[in-house]
Amino acid sequence: MNSQMISGATRGASTVEGRVSAGAEPKRASVPPTREQAVSGLVVIVEDEADIANALEYNFEREGFQTRKAATGRAALELLGRDPLPDLIVLDLMLPDVSGTEVCRHVRMNDRTRHVPVLMLTAKAEEIDRVVGFEVGADDYVTKPFSVRELMLRARAILRRAHASEVEAGSGEQVFGRLRIDSGGHRAWVDGQEVSLTALEFRLLTTLMGRRGRVQTRDTLLEDVWDMSGDVTTRTVDTHVKRLRQKLGTAGIYIETLRGVGYRFRAQLDE
Ligand code: CA
């Protein structure tokens, strides 16, 4: 049934460290970072295990995506520092040099790349790793060994959400007390200071804000913000809300916890 299980557990010494797949070279420099480029679907695959990287490349390209591969964290950062900007980064956690979490952090800290969705690959199934992955700003994760079908489903869900929030967003600007958000530009400010939010955090914030004064259960948020249940747990919601609150600083109090129920964005400032 699971015909295409890919395991990251075993691999020989013949890794492809230190090089970026040659297949991507000729096109890269000449492609301008146009809007068309962004919607055509470019996936950057950061994975040091060649078998996995090649399988992902094959499957994404078969579905009409363009791909670029990087076999080390450093190669990934170099690739991401250049145009065109990808629509999705599939990022392995265990890389030979710069770790996946470190790459993810860089992606999120950089203005240019911070809204690019990241799908993390990890060989470790422990909850802590999942949480760490989310805290550095991954949008979702897949645990090795994984089925390519499952990964493609998740990738498509992420891309669909990213696209939907783009379309939905328009150019609306909303202000609530200390908080100002620009849905079109995916930007948020607290007391005039820009807050760096991941795509997922931004979606969580706009979802809560758009339903001001209404309690949102964790399940509702999972469904509407994460767009799938799978093995994403309600604890994931808590982790993200906590993180979002921290980032919002003094505006974090606008998001209230209703113990045992869920979360609510304040209806009014002076509540
Ligand atoms: Ca690896």
Arithmetic mean of pLDDT, 3-27: 41
Ligand 1 centroid, distance to 144 Cα (angstroms): 10
Ligand 1 centroid, distance to 256 Cα (angstroms): 39
Greatest alpha-carbon span in the chain: 62
Cα gap 52→54, rounded to integer Å: 5
| Domain coordinates in residue numbering, the chain | 5-165, 170-265
Ligand 1 centroid, distance to 128 Cα (angstroms): 18
Residue 3: pLDDT above 70?
no
Residue 217: pLDDT above 80?
yes
Provide the pLDDT for residue 231: 65
Residues composing the chain: 271
Which amino acid belongs to residue 214? R
Arithmetic mean of pLDDT, 35-40: 37
Select from 148, 82, 73 the least CA-distant residue to 105: 73
Average pLDDT, the chain: 79
Residue 80, CA distances (Å) to 20, 28, 47, 126 in order: 12, 11, 14, 28
Ligand 1 centroid, distance to 259 Cα (angstroms): 39
Arithmetic mean of pLDDT, 76-98: 91
The pair phi, psi for residue 7, each rounded to 5°, is -110, 140
Ligand 1 centroid, distance to 122 Cα (angstroms): 8
The alpha-helical segments, DSSP class H, found in 138-233 are 148-169, 199-210, 218-221
CATH superfamily for 5-165 is Response regulator (3.40.50.2300)
Ligand 1 centroid, distance to 269 Cα (angstroms): 47
Ligand 1 centroid, distance to 15 Cα (angstroms): 10
Cα gap 241→257, rounded to integer Å: 9
Provide the pLDDT for residue 88: 94
Ligand 1 centroid, distance to 13 Cα (angstroms): 12
Percent of the residues in the chain that have a pLDDT greater than 90, as a whole number: 35
Ligand 1 centroid, distance to 157 Cα (angstroms): 23
Arithmetic mean of pLDDT, 206-225: 85
Spatial contact of 44 and 76, defined as CB atoms under 8 Å apart = yes
Residue 161: pLDDT above 90?
no
Select from 195, 171, 175 the least CA-distant residue to 246: 195
Select from 2, 105, 94, 86 the least CA-distant residue to 41: 86
Arithmetic mean of pLDDT, 37-64: 86
Arithmetic mean of pLDDT, 61-84: 92
Q: Burial letters for 64-93: b for 16+ Cβ neighbours within 10 Å, e otherwise? A: ebbbbbbbbbbbbbebbeeebebbbbbbbb
Provide the pLDDT for residue 213: 79
Ligand 1 centroid, distance to 174 Cα (angstroms): 42
Ligand 1 centroid, distance to 227 Cα (angstroms): 27
Q: What's 254's DSSP letter?
A: G
Cα gap 271→267, rounded to integer Å: 7
Ligand 1 centroid, distance to 262 Cα (angstroms): 36
Confidence of residue 249 (pLDDT cuts 50, 70, 90): very high
Cα gap 23→28, rounded to integer Å: 10
Residue 19: pLDDT above 70?
no
Global confidence as pTM = 0.55
Confidence of residue 226 (pLDDT cuts 50, 70, 90): confident
Ligand 1 centroid, distance to 90 Cα (angstroms): 12
For residue 40, the tally of other CB atoms under 10 A from its CB is 14
Residue 148: pLDDT above 80?
yes
Q: Within 13 Å, how many C-alpha atoms sit on residue 47's CB side? A: 28
Architecture per CATH, domain 170-265, reads as: Orthogonal Bundle (1.10)
Arithmetic mean of pLDDT, 180-207: 90
Arithmetic mean of pLDDT, 171-180: 82
Secondary structure element (H or E) that encloses residue 56, with its range:
helix 50-62
Provide the pLDDT for residue 59: 94
Residue 31: pLDDT above 70?
no
Ligand 1 centroid, distance to 194 Cα (angstroms): 34
Ligand 1 centroid, distance to 241 Cα (angstroms): 29
